A and B are shown apart, each in its own frame.
Chain A
Amino acid sequence: MQLARVLGNVVSTVKNEGLEGRKLIIIQPLDGELQPAGKPMVAIDSVGAGYKELVFWCRGKEASFPFEGSEVPTDCTIIGIVDSDDHVKSIATGARK
């Protein structure tokens, strides 16, 4: 899993029916210092993530597991919301600015 910041969302009406009723969210993956790391991606929400929230997401086939039973074609799903930016404890040097 990886940390990410919610940047916004995507609206798509013509799509695979497995995506029906799922919120499509744009996320920017982050490193442990909450700095951007990697390319922005579109994730499916499974926990009610909101704009600018610090979340974490799961990749691969496992990303479809929160939606048991339904076949959701996703490889990137938000599965948790970090309580706040301060709830990422790290001993790495170069603490967050």
Chain B
Amino acid sequence: MILAKVLGNVVATQKNQRYSGARIMLVQPINPDGTVRGVSMLALDSVDSGEGDVVLVVQEGWAASTASTGEPGAAIDSAIVGVVDFIEED
């Protein structure tokens, strides 16, 4: 998984039917120290995350589809699977 910050969300009425009812979140991958890393991307929410939350994002289809829609086999490659409380770096 990667760490990311939830920036917001995207509204798309016309989409693959497996996406109906799912929240499409805009997330920005970050380093453990919070600095930005790479390009912002989309991930389906499965833990009711909100803007500003630091979250865990899984970037593999089987896991992402199962986490966000309950079943594998959807055209989904990323999903938010956890909201981070805090990060401890020794």
Contacts and interface: CB of A to CB of B under 8 A. Distances in A.
Contact of B14 (A33, A81, A89): A81
Interface stretch (A5-13, A15-23, A54-62): A54-62
Interface residues of A, number: 33
Contacts, number: 101
Contact of B10 (A3, A33, A46, A47): A3
Interface residues of B, number: 30
A26 B23 CA distance: 26
A89 B42 contact: no
A31 B40 contact: yes
Contact of A62 (B7, B14, B28, B76): B76
Interface of A: 1-3, 29, 31-33, 37-38, 46-48, 56, 58-63, 65-66, 77, 79-83, 87-92
Interface of B: 7-16, 19, 24, 26, 28, 39-43, 51-52, 61, 64-65, 73-78
